[in-house]
Amino acid sequence: MAHEPKDKNQKLNIAILTVSDTRTEENDTSGKYLVEALKEDGHTLADKAIVIDDKYLLRAKVSAWIADPEIHVIITTGGTGFAGRDSTPEALAPLLEKHIDGFGEMFRSISFEEIGSSTIQSRALAGLANKTLVACLPGSTGACRTGWTKLLKEQLTASHMPCNFVGYLTK
């Protein structure tokens, strides 16, 4: 296949964005989990930031990362619910060239087994922009663990078959 990675051991540069009006580096357990998980799998932390839940600030940060040829993946945590200021989907969906509908569908299906019908309040989403994967997860550490271990980890592993996203992410 044309999108197969050339190097089956290829590791990626991943940026982590926590979307929150209240989180700081000291209490950002979800962002910390994602950083530890990606490093444990051999990937490189390209950047990490915390941005308040403001769609224009979110777009600015993520747009800069999408434009950076050294960043392959952006994972956001937070702002995907229905609370008044939750705006991650509205902010980032317009930046995506291709939406990965199956990501949100699978996340909610897997999450249903863990938290039941509360998963319908998750607006997790993912897509591709400028050969960058953007994956938006809910803000809880449990949701980040689910998203990483059940979906992202395999899809960001170049040797995972029958397919993965790695081959799409080289700029």
What are 96-144's pLDDT values in tens digits? 999 999 999 999 999 999 998 988 889 999 999 999 999 999 999 999 9
**What is the pLDDT, as a whole number, of residue 67?**
98
Using CA atoms, how far apart are residues 106 and 85, in angstroms rounded to an integer? 25
Q: Write the single-letter amino acid at 28.
A: D
Q: Between residues 8 and 35, which one has the greater pLDDT?
A: 35
Residues 137 and 88: beta-carbon distance below 8 Å = no
pLDDT at 1 over 60: no
**Average pLDDT value for the chain:** 93
Domain boundaries, the chain: 13-168
Provide the Cα torsion 9, 5, 71, 14; round to 10°. Answer: -50
**What is the pLDDT, as a whole number, of residue 80?**
86
Residues 27 and 138: beta-carbon distance below 8 Å = no
- Comparing 5-9, 103-107, 151-155, the range with the smallest average pLDDT is 5-9
In 52-166, beta strands by DSSP E: 73-77, 98-99, 125-129, 132-137
Q: What value does the mean pLDDT take over residues 143-160?
A: 96
Q: What value does the mean pLDDT take over residues 151-156?
A: 97
Q: What value does the mean pLDDT take over residues 48-71?
A: 96
pTM value surpassing 0.85: yes
Give residue 2's pLDDT band: very low, low, confident or very high (50, 70, 90). low
Q: What value does the mean pLDDT take over residues 61-86?
A: 93
Closest C-alpha to 12, from 97, 75, 61: 75
Using CA atoms, how far apart are residues 53 and 60, in angstroms rounded to an integer? 12
Choices 3.40.980.10, 2.40.40.20, 3.40.640.10, 3.40.30.10: CATH for 13-168: 3.40.980.10
pLDDT at 85 over 60: yes
DSSP string, 1-42: -TTS-S-TT---EEEEEEE-SS--TTT-HHHHHHHHHHHHTT
